[in-house]
Structure 1
Amino acid sequence: MTWTYATVEREGPLTIVTINRPEAHNALNAQAHIELEAIFDAFAEDDSQWVAILTGAGEKAFCAGHDLKQQAAGGGLTTPPKGFGGLTARFDCPKPVIAAVNGVAMGGGFELALACDLLVADSRAVFALPEVRVGLAALAGGLQRLPQQIGLKQAMGMLLTGRRVSATEGLALGFVNEVAQGDVLTAARGWAAQLLECGPLSVRATKESVLRSLSLPLAEAMAAQWDFPAMQTLLSSEDAVEGPLAFTQKRKPAWQGR
């Protein structure tokens, strides 16, 4: 399928999604939101796709957030049911998504990156939730995810001032996994390759268990995780047999994702 504001490439079980509005610093208008939600719906539902990378077109921006020109013209702040970019309110997809932040990630663009499971940043990347500076608030998960990922005081320092943070500072704060020394998409592919070496059902069960356990007391989370859907799928899968068998036979496992 051809999209207007995004491109989708597949490299085996890896899906690469690129926001394609470089002339607008990859800010998302209403149609871009709809397209990205459909793209991530397709990724979530396709058994042949195990990992996704999300990046932006061009060298300046990952995503500059909402298209404020559209808003100023009366277009509003409407986002699809699955959230900003079809991702920030997507709580039912256990497949991992990697943000390859190639430039500016502002407002909703930063929230989009925070919603990904791993974040690789170009050395020139800049992050901020500047909504307070324009009379708005970070309502696409930034108010919740940033404190969760870097702690309350550091998050408040960013949220209440809208200040900008470099990739290096983001690494120190803990929301960046790696500052790429070269091409950020190449670095993100390196993380994807590591994920693809692991059992896909194991990765999904792990992601689901970690995220669902965040809101539970420890003892309750440890008991409940056995009944989480992705964990149930893993424990009854062929891959759960293949992994230990490959280990005993001293060979690489042939994951099937079932």
Structure 2
Amino acid sequence: MDSITVDRRGQVTTITLNRPQAMNSITPDMHHALQAAFDGFAADPEQRICVVTGAGEKAFCAGSDLKAMAAGEARPYPDSGYAGLIARFDLAKPVIAAVNGLALGGGFELALACDIIIAAETASFGLPEPLVGTVALGGGLHRLQRQIGLKQAMGLALSSRRISAAEAYRLGLVNELVAPGELAAAVERWCADILKGAPLAIEASKQTMLKSLDEPSLAAALQAQARYPAFAAQATSEDKLEGAKAFAEKRPPVWKGH
């Protein structure tokens, strides 16, 4: 679909919401196009990182296309939920949101579902759904309180207040804040740093952190981690041995991903 583009360069897949004339708002059909794009990334063993961004300079994503909703266009969400990502709990590969402008409603929820958020200084964030009579049902109400705490999350959700990128950074929602012209370079730098690590070790790190949130205590998480699939796969991998050998031999490691 023309409403999104998918670009694979090296080991990085970039998914771009491509409706700049409509603030990259998401139509019902786009949810399924995004589902297919994320499915393709997840299934491709050569692709290690996914970057999600919006076309143009004004918006990352302004959420659902309300004009389409008003016109009665509707389809059930795909298997992985809103934008094909917010309920994709089995993806161990890293996903980076490159937020180049407005990230509102479902667009904010899409960014929250990513593992890392890099934002331009001109970006802004918010959950304005109550202003149009709806509720943020794309995971934002749940992820926001887990990521910045109940009181701050409640304030944003109940007030529908839009916050600047600087405020989002202060709250801990954004990993790095950059000038608009430096966003692409910052994303490349983050990708390069992640790609230095062994693929299975990166996946095990992400999966272990997320799954441990479901454990009742730190002690329980430490006991359970060996049962997490990505953690177990990394523990017996060839790359784990390669990492130790490369360190001892004072050379860069050559990762095989198994």
Shorter-chain TM-score tier: over 0.9
After TM superposition, give the deviation of residue 33 of structure 1 in Å: 0.9
Which residue, 145, 167, 170 being the options, matches 1:169?
167
Residue pair 1:71, 1:77 contacting (<8 A) in 2 also: no
The equivalent residue for 2:71 is 73
The equivalent residue for 2:50 is 52
The ranges of structure 1 where at least 4 consecutive aligned residues each deviate by more than 6 angstroms after the TM superposition are none
- With the length of structure 2 as denominator, give the TM-score of the two structures: 0.97
Deviates more, 1:203-212 or 1:176-185: 176-185
Which residue, 3, 6, 13 being the options, matches 2:4?
6
After TM superposition, give the deviation of residue 70 of structure 1 in Å: 0.7
Q: Give the secondary structure class of the aligned counterpart of 2:15.
A: strand
State the alpha-carbon separation in 1 of the partners of residues 197 and 44 from structure 2: 18
Deviates more, 1:140-149 or 1:213-222: 213-222
User: What is the identity, as a one-letter code, of the residue corresponding to 1:14?
Assistant: V
Residue pair 1:64, 1:106 contacting (<8 A) in 2 also: yes
Alignment of 1:11-50 (within 5 A): 11-50=9-48
User: What is the identity, as a one-letter code, of the residue corresponding to 2:231?
Assistant: M
After TM superposition, give the deviation of residue 184 of structure 1 in Å: 1.4
- With the length of structure 1 as denominator, give the TM-score of the two structures: 0.97
User: What is the identity, as a one-letter code, of the residue corresponding to 1:199?
Assistant: A
The equivalent residue for 1:223 is 223
Q: Give the secondary structure class of the aligned counterpart of 2:251.
A: coil
The equivalent residue for 2:207 is 208
User: What is the identity, as a one-letter code, of the residue corresponding to 2:91?
Assistant: C
Alignment of 1:1-258 (within 5 A): 3-76=1-74, 78-181=76-179, 182-216=181-215, 217-258=217-258
User: What is the identity, as a one-letter code, of the residue corresponding to 1:232?
Assistant: A
Number of residue equivalences: 256
After TM superposition, give the deviation of residue 160 of structure 1 in Å: 0.5
Gaps of 5+ in 1: none
After TM superposition, give the deviation of residue 221 of structure 1 in Å: 1.1
Q: Give the secondary structure class of the aligned counterpart of 2:53.
A: strand
State the alpha-carbon separation in 1 of the partners of residues 6 and 233 from structure 2: 28
State the alpha-carbon separation in 2 of the partners of residues 178 and 211 from structure 1: 21
Deviates more, 1:55-64 or 1:74-83: 74-83
Q: Give the secondary structure class of the aligned counterpart of 1:169.
A: helix
Q: Give the secondary structure class of the aligned counterpart of 2:8.
A: strand
After TM superposition, give the deviation of residue 77 of structure 1 in Å: 7.1
State the alpha-carbon separation in 2 of the partners of residues 185 and 100 from structure 1: 8
User: What is the identity, as a one-letter code, of the residue corresponding to 1:62?
Assistant: F
State the alpha-carbon separation in 2 of the partners of residues 65 and 234 from structure 1: 37
Residue pair 2:100, 2:183 contacting (<8 A) in 1 also: yes
RMSD over aligned CA atoms reads 1.0
Q: Percent identity?
A: 52
State the alpha-carbon separation in 2 of the partners of residues 15 and 77 from structure 1: 26
Deviates more, 1:212-221 or 1:96-105: 212-221
User: What is the identity, as a one-letter code, of the residue corresponding to 2:240?
Assistant: A
Q: Give the secondary structure class of the aligned counterpart of 2:190.
A: helix
Q: Give the secondary structure class of the aligned counterpart of 2:72.
A: helix
State the alpha-carbon separation in 1 of the partners of residues 219 and 67 from structure 2: 49
State the alpha-carbon separation in 1 of the partners of residues 105 and 245 from structure 2: 47
